[in-house]
Amino acid sequence: MTATPPPPPLAGGPGGAAALRPLLATVLTALHDGATHRRGPLPAGGPDAVARHVRGVLGEVLPEHGTGAHEALRTLVHALTTGAADPADPHCLAHLHCPPLAVAAAADLAASALNPSLDSWDQAPAASEIEAALTRTLAAELYPAAPHPDALVTTGGTEANQLALLLAREHHGPTLTVVHGANAHHSVPRAAWLLGLPPTRTLPTPRGTLDPATLDETLARTPGPTLVTATAGTTDAGLLDPLPALADTCARHGADLHVDAAYAGLLALSPRHRPRLPGLDRAHSITVDLHKLGWQPVAAGILAVTDTTRLAPLAHQADYLNAADDTHAGLPDLLGRSLRTSRRPDALKIAVTLRALGRDGLADLIDRTCAAAQRLARLLRAHPRFELHAEPTLSTVLFRPTDARDDDLAALRRTLLQDGRAVLGRATADGRLWLKATLLNPHTTPADLDALVTLLEGSSHR
Ligand SMILES: *Cc1c(COP(=O)(O)O)cnc(C)c1O
């Protein structure tokens, strides 16, 4: 008689750690070997070569008989790492795509192992308390003068902006007009579309930021309830809308103000950087991403509101999760903290990171990152073959080879991707196309930046 083998081990329980340890060793070896094998910020050869390689390595996605945990982890993690655009490489700087801190990734492992789900207290007793403490803290940082500020954990800026528009719609009704600059993130008009709101008003932003006088004229001509969405840290250029003047304008016209601070919001946690965000706490709601300047693995977003009562429209009841008598008996009701039901404890990695680094540790990471952007801008400004769009405000640098046409620029970016040598972004500003370097890696050295400029110089000559 052959005994049936036991099912594969679980990640939790007293035996979980012992089961995980050898598997993690396999994962870590594959991460190391894959990164070494890649030799650059992304794999060479472009989409076809990567797809061929991945398909070749994978073979059957669902074999009849399994290959076992170590083989599957080794094969797929190696393929993932070899073919990654790795933001930990200093020449991977296209997007607000941060290299996660090791401490945050390690904390996220515990979240995966235990799988607390934040839709009811009986699935997440401690996790829900950690989340509550974190959101209280972040809300108080963003709204230092408010008596009862609150914040929700979101999957990122997109979900936070959607929730901000939803709360405004529930407050003001379905005729709400959303006004934003052409510099706003695309998720703002998309959220209005999703929520069935009238088409948004897009104000031109020829200088990259929302102009209070233009807003003033628009609000004077906009009847009915209005939500203005401003941006602290535009996605293309990292610019800060003039929040105090915009808040004054909104107040004069009785319009609500939402600030999308997905990029710059974390500066508020540092006494050194907070003065760069004057007027932030005059917004009715604020979006902040911690998977940008915050160095968290995706997902890590926040929507903060001035007062916890503003979240009332999200209240929701499902008997199996928050029966009225359970809530009455003292079980925390979590369902009104999100539109999602099952929900990962993303608060854990954030709380671990804040504790591990502290304010000064975070401020130091921000300083290093902004200093790298300043340094790259200096190199490009001093270089006869490059034109700099403007001095960086946060950590984004827009530039272009002086003699290039827009088509050449786009092609240069694709060549660097194809060769696996650099991941640069693109942005349109002043009616022209620019190359974009988004610095988010606090380990970037002056030598890395010199090497980038040398690489660009060589490539733009081709
Ligand atoms: C990144 C970004 C977003 C979108 O955030 P996700 O986390 O990608 O959903 C929204 N607004 C701004 C200004 C951003 O930079």
The answer to whether residues 216 and 273 belong to one domain is yes
Q: Supply the pLDDT for residue 3.
A: 82
Kindly write down the DSSP assignment for every residue of 72-95, as one continuous string.
HHHHHHHHHHHT---TTSTTEESS
The answer to whether residues 349 and 365 belong to one domain is no
Q: Which residues pair with 429 in a beta bridge?
A: 432
The answer to whether residues 337 and 362 belong to one domain is no
> Is the model's pLDDT at 461 over the cut of 70?
no
Q: Supply the pLDDT for residue 279.
A: 97
Of all protein residues, whose CA lies closest to atom 3 belonging to ligand 1?
157
Of 40, 68, 85, the residue at which a domain comes to its end is: 85
With pLDDT > 90 as the criterion, what percentage of the chain qualifies?
97
At a CB cut-off of 8 Å and minimum separation 6, what does 354 contact?
Answer: 134, 137, 269, 362
Query: Is 304 part of a structural domain of the chain?
Result: yes
Query: What's the pTM?
Result: 0.97
At which residue do the structure tokens 């660009």 appear?
456
The answer to whether residues 169 and 233 belong to one domain is yes
Residue 459 alpha carbon to ligand 1 centre in Å? 30
The answer to whether residues 363 and 233 belong to one domain is no
187 lines ligand 1 (CB under 6 A): yes
Substitution candidate for ligand 1 out of 289, 291, 292, 396 with most atoms within 8 A of CB: 289
Query: Is 102 part of a structural domain of the chain?
Result: no
Q: Supply the pLDDT for residue 460.
A: 80
Measured CA to CA, the distance from residue 191 to residue 189 in angstroms comes to 5
The answer to whether residues 270 and 314 belong to one domain is yes
Q: Supply the pLDDT for residue 177.
A: 98
Residue 158 alpha carbon to ligand 1 centre in Å? 6
157 lines ligand 1 (CB under 6 A): yes
Of all protein residues, whose CA lies closest to atom 7 belonging to ligand 1?
156
Of 85, 108, 142, the residue at which a domain comes to its end is: 85
Mean of pLDDT values over 266-287: 96
> Is the model's pLDDT at 441 over the cut of 80?
yes
How much is the mean pLDDT over the chain? 97
Q: Give the number of other CB atoms < 10 A from CB of residue 183.
A: 23
237 lines ligand 1 (CB under 6 A): no
What amino acid occupies position 370? C
User: Quick one: pLDDT band at residue 370, thresholds 50, 70, 90?
Assistant: very high
The answer to whether residues 63 and 141 belong to one domain is no
48 burial class (0-12, 13-18, 19+ CB within 10 angstroms)? Answer: exposed
> Is the model's pLDDT at 157 over the cut of 60?
yes
CB 420 within 8 A of CB 44: yes
Query: Is 161 part of a structural domain of the chain?
Result: yes
Residue 187 alpha carbon to ligand 1 centre in Å? 8
Provide the Cα torsion 354, 355, 356, 361; round to 10°: 50
The answer to whether residues 298 and 406 belong to one domain is no
386 lines ligand 1 (CB under 6 A): no
Measured CA to CA, the distance from residue 159 to residue 285 in angstroms comes to 13
Number of domains in the chain: 3
> Is the model's pLDDT at 249 over the cut of 90?
yes
Q: Supply the pLDDT for residue 45.
A: 96
- CATH (domain of 245): 3.40.640.10
Q: Supply the pLDDT for residue 416.
A: 97
Mean of pLDDT values over 403-430: 96
294 lines ligand 1 (CB under 6 A): no
Digit-coded pLDDT (tens) for 117-156: 999 999 999 999 999 999 999 999 999 999 999 999 999 9
Pairing of strands 386-388, 396-401: antiparallel
Q: Which domain holds residue 185?
A: 116-355
Q: Supply the pLDDT for residue 462.
A: 53
Q: Supply the pLDDT for residue 1.
A: 60
Residue 181 alpha carbon to ligand 1 centre in Å? 15
Digit-coded pLDDT (tens) for 282-339: 999 999 999 999 999 999 999 999 999 999 999 999 999 999 999 999 999 999 999 9
Residue 305 alpha carbon to ligand 1 centre in Å? 18
153 lines ligand 1 (CB under 6 A): no
| Closest approach atom of ligand 1 to CA 187 | 10
Q: Supply the pLDDT for residue 439.
A: 98
Query: Is 9 part of a structural domain of the chain?
Result: no
Query: Is 134 part of a structural domain of the chain?
Result: yes
The answer to whether residues 162 and 244 belong to one domain is yes
Digit-coded pLDDT (tens) for 10-58: 999 999 999 999 999 999 999 999 999 999 999 999 999 999 999 999 9
User: Quick one: pLDDT band at residue 244, thresholds 50, 70, 90?
Assistant: very high
Residue 156 alpha carbon to ligand 1 centre in Å? 7
The answer to whether residues 145 and 290 belong to one domain is yes
**Pair of tokens at residue 9:** 């081990």
Digit-coded pLDDT (tens) for 165-198: 999 999 999 999 999 999 999 999 999 999 999 9
Query: Is 94 part of a structural domain of the chain?
Result: no
Query: Is 2 part of a structural domain of the chain?
Result: no
Of 334, 355, 376, the residue at which a domain comes to its end is: 355
The answer to whether residues 188 and 309 belong to one domain is yes
Q: Supply the pLDDT for residue 5.
A: 86
- CATH (domain of 442): 3.90.1150.10
Query: Is 107 part of a structural domain of the chain?
Result: no
The answer to whether residues 220 and 296 belong to one domain is yes
